[in-house]
Amino acid sequence: MPWSICRQVERQAQLMGEMMERLGVDPLAAARRQHGTAFFQARTTCLMCRSISDCRRWVEGAPGAEHPSRFCPNMPFFESCLRH
């Protein structure tokens, strides 16, 4: 696997973690959902997502960035794992 692909996977994984943190997702709840398969599916969705620029802008708090509910296919999963 070329290093550029490895770096892209690493960046996407980091971005998902930052998104989860900013949204207030409980990482243990996310990891346990459906015995880990929901988290695996969300990670795969993130790796294939075409909204990287929108995601990065929101995570970084850029002015005018749209809320993830407008572009993130993982929002239902994230919302199901919010800290209470």
pLDDT beneath 50: ranges in the chain: none
From CA 20, how far away is CA 27, in angstroms rounded?
8
Residue 1: predicted pLDDT: 59
The Cα 20–Cα 22 span in angstroms is: 6
Q: What's the angle, vertex CA 5, arms to CA 24 and CA 71, rounded to 5? A: 40
pTM, to two decimals: 0.88
